[in-house]
Every structure is written in structure tokens, then in C-alpha cells.
Amino acid sequence: MNENAQAVFNRPQLFGEAVTHYCPGCAHGIIHRMVAEVLEELGIEGRTVGIAPVGCAVLIYNYIQTDFIEALHGRAPAFATGLKRVSPDLIVFTYQGDGDLASIGTNEIIHAANRGEKFTTIFVNNAIYGMTGGQMAPTTMPGQITATSPHGRNVKECGYPIRIAELLSSLRTPAYIERVAVYNPQNIVRAKRAIRKAFQYQIEGRCFSLVEVLSTCPTNWGMTPQESLKWQETTMLPYYPLGCFKTPEGEVKE
Amino acid sequence: MNQVTFPVLDKRVIIFAGAYGSGKTEVAVNYAAGLAATCSEPVSIIDLDVINPYFRSREAALSLEAQGVRVISPHGEMCHADLPIILPEIRGEIERSEGKVVLDVGGDNVGARVLSSLADSFGRGYEFLIVLNARRPFTSTVTGSLKMIHDIEISSRLKFTGIISNTHLIDETTTETVEEGYRLACAVSTEAGLPVKFVSAVGEAAKRLDPETIGVPVFTLKRQLLKPWEEKDRAARSSKNKGGLVLCRV
Amino acid sequence: MSRILMKGNEAIAEAAIRAGAVYYFAYPITPQSEVGEYMSRRLPEVGGVFVQAESEVAVGNMLMGAVASGKRAFTSSSSPGISLMQEAISTMAAARLPVVLINIMRGGPGIGGILPSQADYFQSTKGGGHGDYRVLVLAPSTLQESVDLTMLAFHLADKYCNPTMVVADGMIGQMMEPVQFPEDYKEEPLPPKDWATTGCRGRAPRIIKSLFLDPAMLETNNVMLAEKYKLMKQNEVRFEAYKINPQNRILLVAYGTMARICQTVIDELAEENISIGLLRPITLFPFPGKEIFAEAVKPNIKAVLTVEMSMGQMVEDVEAAVQGRKPVEFYGRTGGIVPTPEEVRDYILKILAKKTPAVKSWKG
């Protein structure tokens, strides 16, 4: 190798050598990487404990090399509450999918946010249950075909998709809540900025922080990776608007 | 009941409040029975404990009724409920013009809060007595007792009129325990500007108290609220748990 | 320190603080709400944390998060609330998390009632949640013992890295007795918490988990847990023998409040020269089965009588312990009714009056 050559793109050190189990075109890899980069850049990886969900990301502890606790389905915010309350110097984050956070775990996330627990949640919304085989999620789009909505999500029976960022923003307790997407590089840059901000607020002990990341599931959506990025942009974005929904007191929404 | 030492209080409405476990219920139940034995007027006791699930004055109802005390507490299955039940007749009983009425209130400021909802019924005058037990964790010091008095007065919206010194350790109570408690009650009395109305103690400990040391009447208690294994009266034991299915293999 | 008068729930709460457990997560339920009320008052004084959770489901999971960083944390609840925590308790066992849980039992099933009960014996000693696991279960019968066993529970939880439960019926939670707290509480040395997730600076990352995708690894984990339960059975069986002697004609087996009632009956019958002994299990798991067997087979013993505030739960373990060598009888009341000494006494006299004791399984 040319000794003048400079590395312009490296694997984050926090990523071990493990090869992820994620399908081609799945955005979990991108989101994991952003989290790892932010932890490294902020220099907090040595005092961070992640809370893994039940869902496709359950094995996140094999990829991001920090301490981890594997939570029960939907209960990551309760684990995080317990850990952060007794060890406030730790940096604690939960990484949860939409079945985990928006269905079985709604009670835990709403109350953790409402108590203003000072941890960070990375909420990955891909509008479907990935792990269990492509069933309908609370975030599944109207008319979207899944294993348990073979004729498309019927909003008369199942209601409309839950918008978690908006729902949590209605709470009075200060928080940082932003929704981002990862379908193109510009949005990935914005997403990483939001994740960084979320951890920054935690370091400062300011507030609960949650970043909802719109993601993809080419396997269960039945699309190529390219098509799934397009679908995220054209179908999900109009229903799930991007942007900052809530900032702690004294901060201005960008 | 020793009529000589029974400390009759003039007011018609007598309210016992205090910290959890100060022995309010035991004092209230004994006091109501003592009133029934000494006064010619009708006597009733109101179980206003809306926070404790067990060991409430309603559990002594049978024995009290036999002694001529009317017991006002939730009826039937409701007597076992942990719901805050305020019977409509309570207000009427407090506002009546004749007879004596004893109120047994739940513990701490939390238990005394219920008095607030009845605040407009106490116009005709009342005794509001703080029952103190120096062997309870939050009232073992003057500061702790004063805080308890303050907190209960705030939540009940009533002002205390006196102190009952009821320091005890149930069956480990000795004369020294009672005397030690009386000293604390006197110190609290000075600080709070409230008179010690009487000292209450169970039989043996009360008997040996020196009247020279205790400058106020001593009220002898007979324990009414026994644990199931403490009941020595076999007839009373037999009458409990009547009805219902008995599970055994014989 | 002198003796002070405490309510069972308060005594347990203070004992936990004295054992260094200043992190408490709970949801109110009768008849144990005083624990939370006491904690909300005391914990700020000792630099602890009290979180009133949104549900018992959240409580179980908050506890796992709390103990994961190596701190002592606990909860208290009553029967229906403990049911809601079962998924978490199963996970604590699988992930070896030393959580202490207090169950002040009330009448069930369902919402049941708020009066005392011992009907959660199966739930606490046989697992309660899914999968192969055991919880250490301690059952006090006095308030002093509630203090001592609560403090011990934290030690045993840390020693075995296992969820540990203190079960007491509502009577013990609600009644008052004088207690004394140890002056200088010292514990036997404990293994270092080299599994705690405290941030991985300067060491390899630690992972606390219960998912094993490879069946061989899951089996290995279960076998290792079983080895631990075997150790508990060897080392931690605790019981009290009350007036047990060769003249005993009936061996009583009872715990908690029922043991207190049995003691009253034994004392009274002794005055009538009827000799009865009581073996009171203090640990419900591990169960003192061998000790019960040893007493039951003594020649003068006509029958073993188990007395419970349930439809008959511990009696199954007594039956297994006695191995059909003597008749095993059962007397119980349920729904919140506490058997009186009179009922137990009458039942004992009935057994003694029976002509020929049939040796058979009680189910048969």
C-alpha cells in the first residue's frame, strides 16, 4: 500500500470482526454503525451499556462492543430505567424495533419518557415484524400486505399506524424526539446528527431522548434493496414526516 | 374497668389519631368500652380507618356491641374491603347533639386526611388527640413527634387538643417502657403546648406505675385486637370462622 | 439499639435498607403498600432511589436493569403483582440476576381478596414462570425473623446469583411486633460481581442475556443452573423444630402464620399430656424433606399433619418427603380465613381418635 495513502473510511473500532446476520438492504447495519461511531466520537464507549431488544436486533451485542443487557420483549425502557437510576454515571441506550417498542412495550416507553428518564432510545421503524416472519406491526402502512394482513392492513379493523414520535411528543415532560430516515446519504448524515444529539443530551443529564429511524425490510416487504429504499421514501415518508418534534427547554428545533 | 382511673373527657366527639402503629385503635376501642361502662349516655365508635386493611376497630365489633358500644363501620363483605368507604351515617353521628362518639382514624397524615372531608361537621366541639408511642420509628424523638403532629394537623385540617401517651411494645411492655414514653410525651407537650390527657398501658405494666412519676390519669387497657394465635378464650376461638368450607381429609 | 415496635411491612423495608438495598422499584398493592410508603420516606435519607413503576411488569424489568450494574435492589408486592412479574423472574433465573422479591401473600386465585393466604406456595417454589428454574424461597413466621431473613435474602441472592423470594402471608405483613436490627451487620465474603455491566473501559465487554439460539448451549446453561440448585439443597435448607421429641404422636408441618397457630395448639395439648411436635420449614425451596422424613418415621408418630392457608400445596412436598411411610393429613382454610387454634386442635384430636391409620396416598 502507498505509504502516503490515507484511510478515509474505516470500520468503527467498536465494531468487532463479526459479520452481521442482517439481510442485504436492511438498514440495521447502517444504524448500528451510526450508533457505534457516535459512541466513539463522544468518547463514551467505555461507560456505555446498551439494552438489546427482542426482534431482529437482539444480537446487537455481537456487533457493538460495549456492555449489553438483553431485555425482555418490549421492556428495554424498564431495564434502562433501573440501570440508569442506580448508576447515573453510565450512558444507557435502548435499541428497539417497532413490534418491541410500539406494540408490546408501549406502556414502558410512554412512562419512561413521561418520567423523563435520562437514557437514549434508538427506535427503528420498518413497518413490519421482521424477526417473527413479516407479520403486521402497529406501524404497518394502510393497505400494506404482511403475513397477518394478507389483504393489506385494514384500518377499519386495525386502526391507523401509530406515530411514536408524535405520540411521545405530546407528553409535557421535556425530551428530545426526532424522526430521521436512511434512504439516501443526505438523510443518513442527518440521522447521525440526531443520534449524536440524543447522546449529547444524555451526557449533559438533560432529558430523555429518542430518535425514530425509518428503516427497511426488503425480505419481508418482498422487494429488492433498491425498491425498498424507494418505498420508504414514497410510502412511509408522507405518513411519517421527518424532523424534530420536541427539544429540551431552552433549545430551538432545527 | 376501673372507674376511678377512667379519664372522662367532656367533649362529645373524641378523635384518636397518630402514627401508624401508635396503638390508636386499641386506645379508641378500650376508651369507647370505658365510656359505655361509666356514662349513662349512648356511646358509639366510628371506624374511620380507610388505609389499613387489617387490625381495624371493626374487628372488635362483636365484643364492643356486647359492651353497649354502637360500632359504625362498613357492613358485610365491605368490612374486608381496602376501599375508602365513608358511610353516610358517619356525618349524622358526629353532628348529633346527644351521646358520646369515638373516632378511630387511620395512621399518619395519610390516614388522617379523611377528617378533612368531614371538617364542617366538627363545629360543636371535639377532642382531637394524638396517640404517641415512643417505640415507633417515626415518633421516637420530640422532633419526630412534633413533625407527626404538624403533618396530621395539615392533612386533617383540625388542631390537636391533647396528647395520649401510649408507649408500648405489645407483650414486651414493661413499666419502664411506659415511663420512658411518658417522659417523651411530656417533652412533646412542652414544645407543642398540648396537655397530656392520660397515659394508657396494658394491665400489668399499668398496675406497677408509680402515681408520683405519672402526673396524669392512667388508663388501663385490655387488649382487644389479638393475633389469631394469641386468643386464649376457646369459646371465642370456636365462634370464629363459622360457616364456609373446611378443607381436610377426614 | 433498643427494641422498636414495627409493622411487618415496615420491618422488611428497614431490613432491606440495613442490608444495603437502597434501590426499590414497586407498584402499590394491598396488603403490602406500607413497604413503598416507608421506602418513599426513608430512601431519600440514605441516598437511595424509589421508583413507583407503571406496572409490576415494568417493576420486574427495572429490577433486572438495576442489579445488572452490581447494586442491591428489590421489590415487594402481593400475589397478583407477583404473577405479573413471572416472565421477569424466569429471566432473572436464566441470566443469574440476584434480585430479591418480597411477596406478602393474599387470597387468590384471580383478584381474590386482600386477607392473608399461603396459596402462592406452588408459584414460588415450583418456578412460577416458564422454563426450568428455581427461586430460593424464605418464609418468616415472626417479625424478627422477617428482618433476619430479608437481610439474609440479599446475601443468598448474591451468593448464588439467583432470584430470592421472601414469602409471608398478609398477617405477617400487617401485624405489629417488637424487633431489633443488628448493630454491626457483617456478611460472609461474597464472590466478586465480575459479570456486572458497568461499562467496559479497560476490559472485555460483558453481556447479560438469556437467549441461547444453539440448543446445546441452552441445555448447558440449564444444567449449570441445576447444579446450582443442587448446591442450594445441600447448603441452604433451614427449618425450626418446635417441641419435637420421641414422645410426639403427630408431626405437624406448617410455616409462617400457621406455624404460630400450631405452636399455640402444641403448648395447650402439652398441658393435657398430648405430645405433638412441629417442623417449621424456613426455606420453602430448598425444602427440608429429609428432615421431615426422619421425624415422620419415628415409631410413636401416628400421622404427619400439614396445616396451610391454602387448598393444600406444601402438603404435596410433605407427601413426597414422607414416601408413604406414614399417613399424611391436611388441614387448611382459604380465601383469607386463618384457621383458629381451635380448628387445628379439633383436627388433631380427630386424627388421634381414628382407629387404624390407613397408609395410602392422600390423592388415592
The domain that holds C57 is classified in CATH as 3.40.50.970
Strand partners, C277: C251
In this complex, whether B and A touch, counting 3 or more CB pairs under 8 angstroms, is no
Distance (Å, whole) CA B221 – CA B1? 9
Smallest CA-to-CA distance from B157 within B220, B96, B210, B112 is with B112
Evaluate if residue C361 carries a pLDDT over 50: no
C17/C144 same-domain check: yes
Closest to B96 (Cα-Cα) out of B44, B52, B167, B146: B44
Interface test with A, best of C61, C92, C96 (most A CBs within 10 A): C61
Phi, psi dihedral angles at A124 (to 5 degrees): -100, 115
- On whether both C323 and C225 belong to a single domain, the answer is no
Smallest CA–CA distance, residue C313 to chain A, in Å, is: 30
Global ipTM: 0.94
Mutate to test the interface with C, among A73, A79, A94, A96 (most CBs of C within 10 A): A79
Q: Which helix (H) or strand (E) holds A90?
A: none
Q: Can you read off the three cell numbers belonging to residue C342?
A: 381451635
CA-CA distance, A48 to A61, in Å (whole number)?
Answer: 12
Residue with cell 417488637: C178
- Return the residue in C43, C197, C214 with the most chain A beta carbons within 10 A, the one to mutate for interface testing: C197
Q: Are residues C212 and C77 in the same domain?
A: yes
The percentage of chain C sitting over the pLDDT mark of 70, rounded to a whole number, equals 97
Q: How far is CA B169 from the centre of its chain?
A: 16
C-alpha C74/C-alpha C327 separation (Å) is 40
Burial group, residue B195, by CB count within 10 angstroms (0-12, 13-18, 19+): exposed
> Which pLDDT value is given to residue B2?
35
Give CA angle at C138 (C135, C139), nearest 5°.
Answer: 135
Identify whether the C-beta of residue A244 lies closer than 8 Å to the C-beta of residue A210: no
* CB contact at 8 A, A49 and C196: no
Asked whether residue C287 falls in the same domain as residue C157, the answer is no
Cis before residue C357, ω within 30 degrees of 0?
A: no
pLDDT tens per residue across span C233-276? 999 999 999 999 999 999 999 999 999 999 999 999 999 999 99
The size of chain A, in residues, is: 254
Mutate one of C39, C69, C213 to test the A interface: name it (highest A CB count within 10 A).
Answer: C69
For residues C162 and C153, the answer to whether their CB atoms sit within 8 Å is no
Interface touch A87/C198, C-beta < 8 Å? yes
Query: Does C213 lie in the same domain as C126?
Result: yes
A49 Cα distance to chain centroid: 16
Phi, psi for A81 (deg, rounded to 5): -60, -50
Please state whether beta strands C276-281 and C239-242 pair in parallel, antiparallel, or not at all (unpaired): antiparallel
Q: How is chain B split into domains, by residue range? A: 13-239
Helix, strand, or coil here: C75?
A: strand
From the list C173, C169, C166, C172, the residue with the least C-alpha distance to C151 is C166
CB pair distance less than 8 Å for C61 and A78: yes
Looking at residue C356, its pLDDT comes to 62
As a dihedral over the C-alpha atoms of residue C47, residue C48, residue C54, residue C58, rounded to 10 degrees, the angle is: 140
Would A107 be classed as within a structural domain? yes
3-state secondary structure of C296: helix
Which residues of C fall within a CB distance of 8 Å from A47?
199, 201
Fold of B13-239: Rossmann fold (3.40.50)
Type of residue found at A244: C
Which chain A residues touch C63 with a CB distance below 8 Å? 82
Using one digit for the tens of pLDDT, what is the confidence trace for C37-55?
999 999 999 999 999 999 9
**DSSP 8-state class, residue A162:** P
Give the count of Cβ contacts less than 8 A between chain A and C: 129
Separation of alpha carbons C12 and C151, rounded Å: 9
Residue C167 is part of which domain span?
A: 4-181+208-235
Q: Lowest-pLDDT range, A226-240, B195-209, C185-199?
A: B195-209
Q: In chain C, which among 256-275 make CB contacts under 8 A with chain B?
A: 257, 260-261, 263-264
Judge whether C363 lies within some domain. Answer: no
DSSP B139: G
Q: Touching check for B53 and chain C: CB below 8 Å? A: yes
- DSSP-assigned letter for residue A249: T
Nearest CA in chain B to C343: B238
What does the block give as the cell for A133? 416472519
Is 80 exceeded by the pLDDT of residue C352?
Answer: yes
CA C140/CA C256 separation, integer angstroms? 6
Residue A18 lies in a domain: no
Nearest residue, CB atoms, C210 vs list A70, A75, A110: A70
Residues A13-49 have pLDDT tens digits of 999 888 999 999 999 999 999 999 999 999 999 999 9
Q: Write the pLDDT tens digit of every residue in A124-133.
A: 999 999 988 8
Q: Which residues of C touch B106 (CB under 8 A)?
A: none
* Residue C221 and residue C271 share a domain: no
Q: How many domains does chain C have?
A: 2
Asked if the Cβ–Cβ distance from A78 to C62 is below 8 Å, we say: yes
Q: What's the pLDDT score for residue A11?
A: 87
Residue B84 CA to residue B49 CA, distance in Å, equals: 8
**How far, in Å, CA of C321 to CA of C279, rounded?**
13
Give the CATH number of the domain where residue C345 resides.
3.40.50.920
Domain holding A235: CATH number? Answer: 3.40.50.970
Closest CB to C341 among B138, B229, B248: B229
Query: In total, how many domains does chain A have?
Result: 1
In a domain, A12, yes or no: no
Residues 6+ apart with CB under 8 A from A161: A127, A138, A139, A140, A141, A142, A153, A239, A240
Asked if residue C107 is part of any domain, the answer here is: yes
The minimum CA-CA distance between B201 and chain C, rounded to whole Å, is 15
Q: Which of C83, C102, C90 is nearest to C19 (CA)?
A: C102
CA distances from A109 to A78, A112, A135, C135, C141 (A): 8, 5, 22, 29, 40
Strand C303-308 relative to strand C250-253: parallel, antiparallel, unpaired?
A: parallel
B-contacting chains (≥3 CB pairs under 8 Å): C
DSSP string, B154-205: HHHT----EEEE---BTBT--HHHHHHHHHHHHHHHHHHT--EEEEEEEHHH
Subunit contact B136:C347, Cβ cutoff 8 A = no
CB B39 within 8 A of CB B101: no
Give pLDDT tens digits for C326-349.
999 999 999 999 999 999 999 999
Closest CA–CA distance from residue C87 to any residue of chain A (Å): 8
Residue C364 lies in a domain: no
- For cell 421506602, name the residue: C39
Using a CB–CB cutoff of 8 Å, tell me whether B140 touches chain C.
yes
Q: Residue B76 has what pLDDT?
A: 75
Q: Which residue has cell 412534633?
A: B146
Q: Answer whether C5's CB lies under 8 Å from B169's CB.
A: yes
- Pick among B54, B110, B148 to test the C interface (most C CBs inside 10 A): B54
Q: Is residue A15 part of a domain?
A: no
A181 by DSSP, 3-state: which? strand
For the record, the C-alpha cell of B104 comes out as 378511630
Asked if residue C147 and residue C10 are part of one domain, the reply reads: yes
> Chain C within 8 Å of A75 (Cβ-Cβ)?
yes
pLDDT tens, position by position, for chain B (250 residues)?
333 468 888 899 999 999 988 999 999 999 999 999 998 899 999 998 887 778 887 778 888 999 999 999 887 777 777 777 788 889 988 988 789 999 999 998 989 999 999 988 888 789 999 999 999 999 999 999 999 999 999 999 999 999 999 999 998 999 999 999 999 999 999 999 999 999 999 888 888 898 888 889 999 999 988 999 998 888 888 877 765 455 554 3
Q: Please, which chains are in contact with A (at least 3 CB pairs closer than 8 A)?
A: C
Rounded distance, CA B18 to CA A228, Å? 68
Q: Which residue shows C-alpha cell 403490602?
A: C32
Task: Say yes or no for a CB contact (<8 Å) between C261 and B238.
Answer: no
H or E element in which residue B52 lies? none
B242 at interface of C, judged by CB pairs closer than 8 A: no
Residue type, B149: I
Residues in chain B, total: 250
Task: Please report, as a single letter, which amino acid is at residue A185.
Answer: P
Backbone CA torsion sign across C304, C307, C311, C312: negative
> What part of A 166-205 touches C (C-beta under 8 Å)?
none
- How far is A250 from A247, CA to CA, in rounded Å? 8
Same structural domain, C50 and C118: yes
Where are any strands of DSSP class E within chain B?
13-18, 43-48, 69-72, 100-105, 126-132, 162-165, 196-202, 218-221, 247-248
Q: Which residues contact residue B81 at a Cβ distance below 8 angstroms, ignoring those fewer than 6 apart?
A: B74, C114
C neighbours by CB contacts (3+ pairs under 8 Å): A, B
Contact C201 A70 (CB under 8 A): no
Confidence band for C1, pLDDT divided at 50, 70 and 90: low
Asked, for residue C358, whether it belongs to a domain, the answer is no
Q: Quick check: is C188 in a domain?
A: no
Query: Which residues between 149 and 208 in chain C have a beta carbon less than 8 angstroms from any beta carbon of chain B?
Result: 170-171, 174-178
Mean pLDDT over residues C19-27, rounded?
A: 97
Q: What is the phi/psi pair of residue C298, to 5°?
A: -60, 140
* Contacts of residue C28, Cβ cutoff 8 Å, sequence gap at least 6: C36, C52
The predicted pLDDT at position A17 comes to 85
Identify which of C336, C306, C8, C290 has the alpha carbon closest to the alpha carbon of residue C149.
C8
**Residues with Cβ < 8 Å from A30, sequence gap 6 or more?**
A182, A188
Verify that C54 and C85 share a domain, yes or no.
yes
Q: What is the pLDDT of residues C203-230, one digit of tens each?
A: 999 999 999 999 999 999 999 999 999 9
Any domain includes A178: yes
Domain range enclosing A227: 28-246
